[in-house]
Amino acid sequence: MTSSEDLSIVTRAAAELERLRKVPQHDGTSFPRACRKMMLSLPGNSRCVDCGNLNPDWASVSYGVLLCVRCSGRHRSYGVAKSRVRSISMDAWSHTQVLAMLEGGNEQLQSFFQRHQMGNTSIASSHRYHTKAAEFYRTHLDIHARKVGSCGLYGGRSQSRKKRSTEPKQTNSHKLEMNQQMASKTCREKQVHLLGIESRRQSITATQ
């Protein structure tokens, strides 16, 4: 995210996340407005990740994806260990859950499944969430979201994926500069490491 408009959304989302951080985890709040706008702008998020229905309003936090109401019902049947379903409009959300939605995305998961020969077919969409590949994805997304949350003010997906050589002065936002300066080198190294979703996914065997 490099444009001034995108930066503005990231800054507002970061402020919302800081307010949400102070809310007890079990309480949560409605999905924050700027965070929602950011989430809806992610590639693939205008359609249900499983069936392609427009304007999905349900989510599987486990994978950071958006679902239509029909597919959300099927995900509930998988059990919370396989897919944790929430309503974007009606449920309360915690800091980590919102971060999972901002760091996930429908296209990202769909691409992951396609690399494991589990693309968007009716059979695959029911079965793929029970595979070891799916377990790998949801485990690492959860770890990644928690780590991003522990590293201070949110700077957007691009910052979460930057190499540690990135210089703080590359951004125009003073808030983001402060965040980057506060984030320890060790913390950033861990973030890069945990982005193994991107680098290690190809080594996972998609056995069922």
Query: Which residues of the chain form contacts with Zn ion (CB under 5 A)?
Result: 48, 50-51, 53, 68, 71
- Output 13 or 68, the one with its CB closest to Zn ion: 68
CA distance 65 to 53: 13
Q: Which of 25, 8, 7, 3 is nearest to 145 (CA)?
A: 25
Closest to Zn ion by CB, 108 vs 179, is 108
Q: How many CB atoms lie within 10 A of CB 181?
A: 11
Query: At its nearest, how many Å lie between Zn ion and the CB of residue 74?
Result: 8
Residue (11 or 72) nearer to Zn ion, CB: 72
Q: What's the min distance (Å) between Cβ of 84 and Zn ion? A: 17
Asked whether the beta carbons of 96 and 55 are under 8 A apart, the reply is no
Nearer to Zn ion, 17 or 68 (CB): 68
Contact 119, 113 (CB under 8 A): yes
Smallest separation, CB 107 to Zn ion (Å) = 15
CB of 65 to Zn ion, least distance (A): 10
Q: How far apart, in whole angstroms, are the C-alpha atoms of residue 149 and residue 147?
A: 5
Amino acid at 163: K
Q: How is residue 112 written in tokens? A: 């992951």
